[in-house]
Amino acid sequence: MIAVLIDGGHVRALARQANKTYDCDLIEKLGYKCAQDGERIQRILYYDCAPYRGSKSLPVSGKDRRFQGSDRWLQDLAQRNLFAVRLGVLKFRGWVPVRTPIAASPLEDKDFKPNFEQKGVDMRIGLDMANYAQTHAVDKVGLVTNDTDCIPAMKYARRAGIQIALICIPGCKPAPELLAHCDFKREVEWP
């Protein structure tokens, strides 16, 4: 029995590079492809953040910019068979230049883009891996990430007898540290 844990930010970045439409159907198909023949999926856990909602002052004009992303697609994904969605928080971290070095001409709002940071996703992945290690509800965890913050949870799960398969989709260059702490590297093509 395998649990598949998908880091949404990681997969989204690789999908963008591959010119894939990032939606619930792609995520669902990818989740199912992570299991090999003979492996039964216990659950597919998807980790991400809902889009940022709120207003922030633009860096040059000071006018308000409203962010109004919808999380409807996350609700849709959570209703699919075997899926559970675990949400972190998206934090606004200010404005960053669109290009560097910054031009010497007078700056405008369009010269900056918002900087968001995902918080709490790797912690949720780690907690779920630790829970699987403690309960032995699965024999194997298929982990779709390139975040080295998951290594302590990977080590804990392996010590408890859970095998870790690091799932690599096209474009992923796994961190050597992750490869050192998994049992298998599993290549999975885009659906």
Provide the pLDDT for residue 101: 82
| Digit-coded pLDDT (tens) for 138-181 | 999 999 999 999 999 999 999 999 999 999 999 999 999 999 99
- Segment 83-95, tens digit of pLDDT: 999 999 888 999 9
pLDDT at 157: 96
Let me know if 124 is exposed, middle or buried by CB neighbors in 10 A (0-12, 13-18, 19+).
middle
pTM for the structure as a whole: 0.89
Each as own residue / partner, the long-range contacts of residues 27-33 (CB below 8 Å, 24 or more positions apart, any chain) are: 27/77, 28/77, 28/80, 28/83, 29/191, 30/6, 30/144, 30/169, 30/188, 30/190, 30/191, 31/4, 31/6, 31/82, 31/83, 33/188, 33/189, 33/191
Domains contained in the chain, CATH given: 2-90+118-187 (3.40.50.1010)
Question: Is there a contact between 140 and 2 (Cβ–Cβ < 8 Å)?
Answer: yes
Please list the alpha-helical segments (H only) found in 34-145: 72-78, 121-135
Confidence of residue 108 (pLDDT cuts 50, 70, 90): confident
